[in-house]
Amino acid sequence: MESLSPRLQAVVDALPLAQGLRVLEIGCGPGAMARAIANRIGDGYVLAIDRSAKAVEQARQVSGTEIVQGRMSVLQCAAEDFVLPEGILPFDLAVAIRVGALDGRHPEAGVKVRKAIKAALKPDAKLYIDGGNPLLEIAL
């Protein structure tokens, strides 16, 4: 497996990951962080989403092992349009790194994104974004 950038490694290390967790990654890009998370949560599950068809295709190509094992899926979807897919249980936590709708670059979209994410998470679940040291926890 490829190594993560120091920035993404710090994010993965800071997340409260545990065996069996269900994690939603918003804005997964080529999937490196999603794979690292999948490998930290054992028999847990990661759903990685991105609005870019190219990024989703890259993530699927290099995440074959995790996908075949049922520990990870990749979905092309804009965060503000995300709806929990049929048959997929709510998530224990969500993480979004460099997602404009959540980091303040696109505040109008942020309202829609927070609503969509909240609907896909368990009631006590948390959303983590970049901008802290290294993460900020966002109330939904």
Contacts of 51 (CB under 8 A, 6+ apart): 27, 76, 77, 78, 79
Is pLDDT larger for residue 100 or for residue 54? 54
Give the global pTM.
Answer: 0.95
Enumerate domains of the chain plus CATH numbers.
6-138 (3.40.50.150)
SS3 call for 76: strand
Query: pLDDT value at position 2?
Result: 62
pLDDT of residue 13 exceeding 90, the answer is yes
Determine contact, residues 99/110, Cβ cutoff 8 Å: no
Dist. CA 3–CA 47, nearest whole Å: 20
Query: pLDDT value at position 108?
Result: 87
Q: Where are the alpha helices (DSSP H) in 1-140?
A: 6-14, 32-40, 53-62, 64-68, 107-120
Query: pLDDT value at position 40?
Result: 96
Query: pLDDT value at position 46?
Result: 98
pLDDT in tens, 117-130: 999 999 999 999 99
Query: pLDDT value at position 107?
Result: 86
Query: pLDDT value at position 39?
Result: 95
Strand partners, 22: 45
Query: pLDDT value at position 95?
Result: 98
Dist. CA 63–CA 67, nearest whole Å: 6
pLDDT in tens, 66-114: 999 999 999 999 999 999 999 999 999 999 999 999 988 888 889 999 9
CA-nearest of 121, 124, 11, 23 to 71 is: 23
In angstroms and rounded to an integer, the radius of gyration of the C-alpha atoms of the chain is 14
pLDDT in tens, 21-45: 999 999 999 999 999 999 999 999 9
- In whole numbers, what is the pLDDT of the chain averaged over residues? 94
